[in-house]
Structures are given as C-alpha cells and as structure tokens.
Amino acid sequence: MKVQNYINGNYQNPISNQWLNNYCPANGEIYGQTPNSSKEDVEAAFQVAKTAFQKWSKTTLEERSKILIKIAELIEINLDKLAEAESEDNGKPLSLAKSVDIPRAASNFRFFGHAITQFSSESHESSGQNAINYTLRQPIGVVGCISPWNLPLYLFTWKIAPAIAAGNCVVAKPSEVTPITAYLLGDICTKAGLPKGVLNIIHGKGSTTGQAIVEHPDIKAISFTGGSKTGAQIAKIAAPLFKKLSLELGGKNPNIIFADCDYHAMLETTLRSSFSNQGQICLSGSRIFIEEALYNRFKTDFVKKTKALKVGHPRETNTVIGALVSKPHLEKVLSNIEIGKKEGTVLCGGNKITVKNYENGYYLEPTIIEISTNDCKINQEEIFGPVVTLMPFKNENEALELANNVTYGLSATLWTNNLKRTMRITHQLKAGMVWVNTWMHRDLRTPFGGVKASGIGREGGFEALRFFTESKNVCIKY
Ligand code: NAD
C-alpha cells in the first residue's frame, strides 16, 4: 500500500518524492511505502489550512458537530477495514483493534462533536462598577497535532477531533511507523463533508516532517503525544516561538497492591495493565508493588497466568499478545531485559518467540522480573514493552515512596478496599491520573495527562477545547 499525504482534501505524493518503507510487524516484511515529507509539504498544508480557517472558524457549532458525528459514523461503518489495517500496521491483535482502537477513534469524534455544543465561557460582573466582563474563546488558527505509533488512530483522533471542533484547521502527522489508518481517515473526512483544508495529514519522520511542523512560525499550537525526550526537544523549539504546547509523554506507572484488595479482580486487571497491546500503552502499570503478606501468592498466580497468555499472529482469534511494533523497538526491549537479568531475576519470559510461518515477526514472551530495589534502570526508565517488575513492600509509607520515586508521573493504580487508605494515598501520589480498583477505565470528559517527565497540559473534555482556543476577556462599561 502506498500512503499519500492528504492536503486540501486531495491525496498527493510528497513534493521531494522521498519515501520510507512500511513494515508489517507480524512477518517483518515490507508491505508499503510512506512519504517522508519535507518542509515544503508542511508549508503547502499550512497554506491551505490558513485559507480554510477563514470559513471554518465561522461555521456554526451545529454544523461542526454534524460533520464530526458523521466522521464517527463512517469510522464505525468502516470498523473492520480500519481494524484490519491497524492490526497489520502495528502488530496488535485484531480483536483489540476491533474492540478498542477503532471504536475509540469513533468515540473521539462523536464525543467532541457533542462537547463543542456544550462548551461555554465565563462572565464576571464587576459589581458596583457598572462593568461586565465576558470571556471569548476563539479558535487559534492553524494548529499542529503529532501522535505516536502505539494507539495510532485512537490517539491521532484524540487530538484532531477537539482541534477542529473548536474551529481550528490542522496540520497533523501520525507516526511514520504506523501511518495507514491516518491515511484512510482522509477519505472518511472527505466523505463526511469536512471542507477542504480543515484537516491536512502529512506523513514522515519526526526529524523531518514533525520538526517542520513544530518549527513553523505560524502554527501557533502543538499537541504532541510521544516520548519524553522528543517532548523536551519540541519544548525547546516551541518556547522562543511562544507556541501553546500540550505534551503527553512517557510513563513508568506504579501498580500498588494491598493484601485487602479483591484478589481475583486485581489479578485479571493486572494481567491486562501489564501486557495489553504488548505492554505498549503509556498507562501500562509496569512497576508492580505488592504488600508483603500477599507477595508470594500473587507472584505464583501472576507468573502462572502470564505463562498461559497466547503470543501469536495478530489475526488469530486466540492471540492475546501480538507482535511488537518494529524491529528496532523489539531490540530495545530485549536490551532492557538483558539489563533486567543483571538487576533482578527473570521469573518468566525474556525471550524472542518464533511464530510458525511468521519467523521474521517481532514476537516476544511476556516478561516478569523480580527486583529488590526501585533504584535500578529497569524500574526507572520506560521500556514500553511486555515487561513488568515485581517488588514487595512493607507498609503504606514505603509503597508511596516507591511509587513516587521515579522521574515520570503519568498514572498510578491502587488496589485496596480501605477507604481511608485510598484517600491518603490518592492525595499523595504524584501522577496525573489515579485508578483505584480498576485500570484504564476512561471517561472522555475527564482531564488526561501527566506530571513531571510525563508532560504538561491536559487533554480530554473541555480541557482539550480550552487548549485549542485562546481566551480573550472583553470588559464593557455600562
Ligand atoms: P516518539 O517521541 O519517538 O514519536 C512520537 C511522534 O513524534 C511521532 O509521530 C514522531 O515521528 C514524532 N517526532 C519524533 N521526533 C520529532 C521531532 N523532533 N519533532 C517533531 N515530531 C517528532 O514516540 P513513539 O516512539 O512514537 O511513542 C512511544 C512514546 O509515546 C512512549 O514514550 C509512550 O509512553 C508515549 N506515549 C504517551 C502517551 C500519553 O498520553 N502520555 C500516549 C501514548 C504514547
């Protein structure tokens, strides 16, 4: 499949005719090409977006809402095609793409299609001074949206939907590792009646295409999801240009388990929070801390259940763990496991798997490493694969210290039935999102984002609509 840029409602080749190979993680074969777009392509997209903004920013909320909801419906109609494309491009189980990624991409458009009709701003009467202030929230103009490969269409649409709902026009770049569903989205937007130039999808590497979007002086806001190092680089470029920035970055999330929790619910959910999507979810609970009294029971059961997880071709219905996204990523995860072997004890997994008929695919056993200190590389640096660590703790204070002692602060999960402890711990955890007795339970109205090296700003609900608008206070004396 040859991916093309989507500019002004048309598919086109990159101006410089530079291309990247697209690999299928399930068999390691090249199955298509993707543009490696240049500054010139970004400029072409910016120019049409700027023109489209004149009209799009003045459309009624109902009109925008109708188009966004239509895009959601068309994503649902094309669910099978999009899920197959996502699974082939990313290596994730087809069942996961069908049940999570693609339905969620549709929900993103439907949610923001409705949310924009409910978005309001403040008014402040200066009592006794005969003046009233009201806040105008206006679209910014042309904005940039840059997304990663782990949940390709899901995270791409999570940015684009609020940006266009708020009246902006967009230059968007999906990950060059997984470009296919973003490519297919262009056609869906055209069919849904999205005016030309409102959304422009440019493909290419971060260092070429991505950086050109960030460096563009007139793209005034960047919503970025990806690694913390990339986020820091983007912040450095954007700061002197005074761009609005939303940075959703890496995580090294603690999963704190107390002996008084609902054991079976915790065990099943912990399997998911460890290995769903091959552990390639920013919210995965990769550092598991267990209260001493429960440690041995949990360790035995968790290892047994992990060994039973079926690693296989993403299309096979009994596959729970598919292929990792790319060869370099597989190698990165394997090199972390090697470090883990020195820092701790591998309780299960740790090896590359050869799947019959797909010998060159990027398959890896789900891996559990037992450690005795949190101050080790595998517990401090993001691995972003099917690798978790286990470590016991003695009491609440120690659990908190272990959970917070890391440079990241995206999410945390807590398992306990003690309400007072829940309140104490949730108040003290340094994370943008905390789940208690559940994991990745999402409500799209809630603020989404992290603290520390996990980023700045919040997405989700009205937070996203606030990010994609500029507020202007108007004070009227009467
Ligand atoms: P990445 O930072 O390598 O790339 C993310 C995107 O940024 C890609 O589209 C890439 O092409 C682009 N990019 C790279 N360098 C760039 C530059 N200099 N300028 C502009 N754009 C550039 O991340 P990745 O490997 O694709 O994704 C994995 C990372 O994403 C993990 O760290 C994971 O935790 C994080 N992530 C975070 C969240 C969240 O919501 N916090 C969600 C998913 C993934």
- Please give the number of the atom of ligand 1 that sits closest to the Cα of 455: 41
pLDDT for position 115: 98
Q: What DSSP character marks residue 195?
A: P
- CA separation for the pair 133, 471 (Å, rounded): 12
DSSP string, 287-339: EEEEEHHHHHHHHHHHHHHHHTSPB--TTSTT-SB---S-HHHHHHHHHHHHH
Burial of residue 217, with CB atoms counted within 10 A of its CB: 0-12 exposed, 13-18 middle, 19 or more buried: exposed
- C-alpha closest to that of 382 among 229, 236, 232, 240: 229
Query: What integer is the mean pLDDT of 401-426?
Result: 98
Average pLDDT in the chain:
98
- Please give the number of the atom of ligand 1 that sits closest to the Cα of 382: 32
- CA separation for the pair 24, 314 (Å, rounded): 11
- Please give the number of the atom of ligand 1 that sits closest to the Cα of 205: 11
- CA separation for the pair 386, 350 (Å, rounded): 9
Atom 21 of ligand 1 has which residue's CA nearest to it?
A: 210
Residues 208/37, Cβ–Cβ less than 8 Å:
yes
Q: Which two tokens stand for residue 388?
A: 């978790």
176 C-beta closer than 6 A to ligand 1? yes
Residue 216 pLDDT class (50, 70, 90 cuts): very high
Strand order across the beta sheet in which 433-436 lies: 345-348, 367-370, 387-393, 287-291, 254-257, 411-415, 433-436
Catalytic residue check, 282: yes
pLDDT for position 69: 98
Q: Which two tokens stand for residue 448?
A: 């989404």
C-alpha torsion sign, points 422, 423, 429, 430: positive
- CA separation for the pair 302, 289 (Å, rounded): 13
Residues 463/443, Cβ–Cβ less than 8 Å:
no
Summarised one tens digit per residue, pLDDT across range 149-194 is 999 999 999 999 999 999 999 999 999 999 999 999 999 999 999 9
- Please give the number of the atom of ligand 1 that sits closest to the Cα of 448: 40
Strand order across the beta sheet in which 123-126 lies: 123-126, 131-139, 469-477
C-alpha torsion sign, points 21, 26, 27, 31: negative
Summarised one tens digit per residue, pLDDT across range 87-113 is 999 999 999 999 999 999 999 999 999
Residue to probe by mutation, ligand 1, list 151, 155, 223, 225, most atoms within 8 Å of CB:
225
pLDDT at 1 exceeding the cut of 90: no
Residues 162/468, Cβ–Cβ less than 8 Å:
yes
Where helices occur in 168-262 by DSSP H, the ranges are 180-191, 211-215, 228-238
Residues 204/20, Cβ–Cβ less than 8 Å:
yes
pLDDT for position 49: 99
- CA separation for the pair 413, 445 (Å, rounded): 20
Residue to probe by mutation, ligand 1, list 22, 34, 175, most atoms within 8 Å of CB:
175
- CA separation for the pair 425, 397 (Å, rounded): 9
Q: What is the 3-state secondary structure (H, E, C) of 90-132?
A: HCCCHHHHHHHHHHHHHHHHHHHHHHHHHCCCCEEEECCCCEE
- Whole-number Å distance, alpha carbon 250 to ligand 1 midpoint, is 8
pLDDT at 438 exceeding the cut of 90: yes
Q: Tell me which long-range contacts 351-357 makes (C-beta under 8 A, separation of at least 24).
A: 353/311, 355/311, 355/312, 355/313, 357/313
pLDDT for position 375: 97
Where helices occur in 394-471 by DSSP H, the ranges are 396-404, 419-428, 461-467
Residue to probe by mutation, ligand 1, list 150, 215, 252, 448, most atoms within 8 Å of CB:
150
Query: What integer is the mean pLDDT of 75-98?
Result: 98
- C-alpha closest to that of 462 among 221, 235, 194, 122: 122
Residue 334: count of CB within 10 angstroms of its CB: 17
- CA separation for the pair 281, 321 (Å, rounded): 13
First and final CA of the chain: distance in angstroms? 63
Residues 320/335, Cβ–Cβ less than 8 Å:
no
Residue 179 sits at φ, ψ, to 5 deg, of: -90, -10
Catalytic residue check, 459: no
